[in-house]
């Protein structure tokens, strides 16, 4: 059970009993392999599945008429890419695999039925939505109020914290398979600017890079540099039992 990244993630902050876990595992029977650079979801297509990242990295993105791309979210193992998007007639964003990924394709009707019949699962999935909204707010602050060096450092700190939530030992990988262009498209910077920032971080011995990605060497230093506080990734919620009483 622990090899399912969604279960590992939910157990961080949500109480799930064995029947709840079995119900969630039963949702993940349709698992597909997607190649790097392939769209999992196309902007404008009908939203008929919820997609759970089982392994690998993906990204939500929007394309401008000029062809410029803005990455609006990085999606890691355990992330439900579009939990509430199936209420839309058409998707308003694309989702692309940044690396080879394994994706569980889940019928939204199955999730809706489970949320109605299992309060603990409904509470856990609501927690997922809260975290997604908190990440979006953090990204807005990061892009709006931090300069480039702090912006990149904060992103790396967030990725480390998110990866640790699904790692068996609580120590997530410090290797990020991101290109300079992908970092630039995520943070509203140019690839040239990102290159300068990465050079600065390398000179401080905070990261090292090689073809295919980069590795964080000094997470504490990055946290100090960016003022990172990861509490928004683990919001505390009111227990289901207390909600039922209310």
CATH number of residue 33's parent domain: 2.60.120.10
The pLDDT score that the predictor gives to residue 243 is: 58
pTM: 0.93
The pLDDT score that the predictor gives to residue 87 is: 73
The pLDDT score that the predictor gives to residue 73 is: 96
Handedness of CA 168, 207, 99, 77 (dihedral sign): positive
Burial class (CB in 10 A: 0-12, 13-18, 19+), 214: buried
The pLDDT score that the predictor gives to residue 1 is: 44
Q: Decide: helix, strand or coil at residue 177.
A: coil
> Do the Cβ atoms of 10 and 127 come closer than 8 Å?
yes
pLDDT digits (tens, 9 = 90+) for 196-222: 999 999 999 999 998 889 999 999 999
Residue numbers in the chain where pLDDT is lower than 70: 1-2, 86, 170, 239-246
Q: Of 24, 238, 26, 41, which is closest to residue 130 (Cα–Cα)?
A: 238
Handedness of CA 103, 33, 155, 170 (dihedral sign): positive
The pLDDT score that the predictor gives to residue 242 is: 61
- Which range marks the domain in which residue 95 is found? 5-245
> Do the Cβ atoms of 62 and 43 come closer than 8 Å?
yes
Q: Edge-to-edge strands of the sheet including 213-216?
A: 175-176, 213-216, 207-210
The count of structural domains within the chain is 1
The pLDDT score that the predictor gives to residue 12 is: 80
């Amino acid at each position: 059970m622990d090899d399912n990244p969604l279960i590992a993630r939910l157990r961080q902050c949500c109480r799930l009993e064995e029947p709840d876990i079995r119900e969630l595992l039963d949702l993940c029977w349709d698992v597909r392999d997607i190649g790097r650079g392939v769209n999992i979801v196309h902007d404008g297509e009908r939203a008929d599945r919820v997609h759970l990242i089982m392994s690998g990295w993906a990204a939500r993105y929007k394309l401008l008429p000029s062809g410029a791309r803005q990455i609006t979210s990085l999606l890691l193992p355990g992330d439900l890419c579009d939990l509430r998007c199936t209420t839309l007639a058409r998707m308003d964003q694309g989702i692309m695999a940044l690396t080879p990924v394994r994706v569980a394709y889940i019928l939204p009707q199955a999730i809706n039925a489970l949320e109605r019949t299992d309060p603990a699962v409904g509470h856990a999935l609501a927690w997922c939505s809260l975290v997604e909204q908190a990440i979006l707010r953090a990204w807005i602050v990061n892009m709006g109020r931090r300069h480039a060096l702090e912006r990149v450092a904060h992103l790396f700190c967030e990725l480390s914290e998110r990866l640790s939530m699904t790692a068996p030992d609580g120590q997530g990988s410090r290797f990020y398979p991101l290109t300079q262009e992908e970092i630039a498209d995520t943070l509203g910077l140019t690839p040239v600017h990102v290159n300068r920032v990465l050079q600065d971080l390398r000179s401080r011995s905070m990261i090292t890079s090689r073809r295919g990605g980069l590795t964080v060497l000094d997470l504490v230093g990055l946290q100090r540099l960016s003022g990172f506080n990861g509490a928004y990734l683990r919001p505390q919620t009111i227990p289901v039992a207390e909600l039922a009483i209310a």
